[in-house]
Amino acid sequence: MRVLVADKFPEKQLDKLRKRGHDVRYEPDLDVSTLPNAMADSEILVVRSTEVSKEALELADELGLVVRAGAGTNTIDVDTASARGVYVANIPGKNAVAVAELTLGLILALDRRIPDNVAELRGERWRKSEFSKAKGLMGRRLGLIGLGSIGTEVATRARAFGMKVRSLERDRQDEEDDVVADLGIDLVPDLESLLPECDFVSLHVPSTAETRGMVDREFLALMSDGSCLVNTSRADVVVAQDLLEALDEKSMWAALDVFPDEPEVGEADYRSGLAQHPRVYGTHHIGASTEQAQEAIAKQVVKAIDGYCEGDVRNVVNLAETMSHTTVIGIRHVDRVGVLSQVFSILRAADINVEQMENHVFAGARAAKAVMHVQGDFDDTVRKEIAGLEAVFDVAVLRDTD
C-alpha cells in the first residue's frame, strides 16, 4: 500500500511499515495547504495535528483509510470521508497518561506559581515572601469535566496528592462505574452542583457540537472566585473572551495547553490575549507530546494499518450504526463461486439493499453462512426464492424489521 505519513512519527515504526512491504512517504512538514497535492496517489494517510480538508479528500481518489495518531478527529473532514467511503480511524487512550501528567503539572504550577518563580529568578529578583503563599493540594477539590481514559488518569494522580475529586453523573458501563468507585470520585448531577464547590476545574472532553463553547460566561459564573480552570483538551471548548473577562472579574487563574488560532507550524510568532494574560500559565499544545506516548500511539497506528490490509479496520469513527429497522437474515450455503452473486441478484430485483454483511466459512471450506442486515421488504416470497437456489441449504430471518 502507498502510505503517506504527514506528521512526525517514530522512525522505528516507519521501518516496520516499510518491512511490511508498504511504500511509505514521510513528509512531516505538510500542512492544510500543501497536503492535498501531496496525498493525491495515497491509499493510506497518517496524521496527528495536520488538518485533512475536504479538498484533500476529494483529490485522493485511491485513499481508503485515514489514521489519526491520537484520539480526536476534529481536524479531519469526517463527513467528506464518509461520503467517499473512506475509513477514519483513531488511536484512543494511548496518550492518556501523558496528558494526565501535564494536567497535574499545570495544577501544581498554579498552586505554587512555578512559572512566576522561574521568571523572577531569571530576572535576578528574589521574592520569597510573594511566593510563599501556596495553599497546597492536600484536601483541595478538583472537578473533572469528562471521565474517559484521560479523566480517570488525572483522577488517579490527583487522589495520590490527596485531592478530593468530583465529576458529573453520566450513563457508564459497569467497568467504568467500578473505576469511579475505586478512585473515590464523588458524582453530582449537574454543573450547578459541581463548579461552585471546586478549587480546580479540569476539562477532558472532545470537540463536538455539544462541547464546543461549553465553558462560556454562564459556566464561568458558577466557578468560585479565585478558582482555577485547566484545559488540556480542545481550545474551542472554551469561549476565549468569556474566560478573559472572568480572569479579571473573579480573580480566577487558568492553565491552558490549547489556544484559539494556534500556529500550524512548530515555530512562529504568536499573540494571544489569553496566552499573554498574567494569570494564565500556558504550554504549547504538548499534552500528548512525550516519547512514551508517541511510541505507544505509533505502534497502534501500525496495527491499525495491518488490520486494514487484513480487512479488519479498528477504531473506525465514521461507520453508521446498524439501523434498528433492518432485517437480519442468515443464509447457509455451499462455499463456492457465484452463490452469493445469485443471492444479491434476487435481493436487487426485490429492491432490497444489503447494509452490512459477514460470511463465515466453516472448517473444510465446504459450507458457509452469510449474515446480512438488509433494508427493504424481505417477505416470504423473497426468502423462498433464495432458499430455492441449488447451493443454498437454508434461509432464516434472525431478526425481523419489527
Where in the sequence numbering do the catalytic residues fall?
Answer: 234, 262, 285
Q: Which residues pair with 361 in a beta bridge?
A: 368
What is the per-residue DSSP string for 221-263?
Answer: HHSPTT-EEEE-S-GGGB-HHHHHHHHHHS--EEEES--TT--
Q: At what angle do helices 96-112 and 149-160 cross, to 10 degrees?
A: 40
Helix, strand counts (H, E) of the chain: 15, 16
Contact 99, 149 (CB under 8 A): no
Report how far apart, in Å, the C-alpha atoms of 240 and of each of 187, 224, 389 are: 28, 18, 65
Rounded to whole angstroms, what are the CA distances from 300 to 87, 140, 303? 16, 37, 5
Burial tier of 274 (Cβ tally within 10 Å: 0-12, 13-18, 19+):
buried
Sheet architecture: strand order including 186-188? 186-188, 164-168, 141-145, 200-203, 228-231, 253-256, 280-282
Q: How far is CA 317 from CA 28, 89, 270, in A?
A: 24, 6, 33
Hey, how many other C-beta atoms are within 10 angstroms of the C-beta on 49? 17
Cell triple for 183: 478512585
Lookup: cell for 358: 459477514
- Pairwise CA distance, residues 293 & 287, whole Å: 10
**66 near 198, Cβ under 8 Å?**
no
Q: Are 43 and 1 in contact (CB under 8 A)?
A: yes
Across 323-366, the runs of DSSP E, i.e. the strands, are 327-334, 353-361
CB atoms under 10 Å from CB of 67, counted, come to 28
The radius of gyration of the chain from alpha carbons, rounded to an integer in Å, stands at: 26
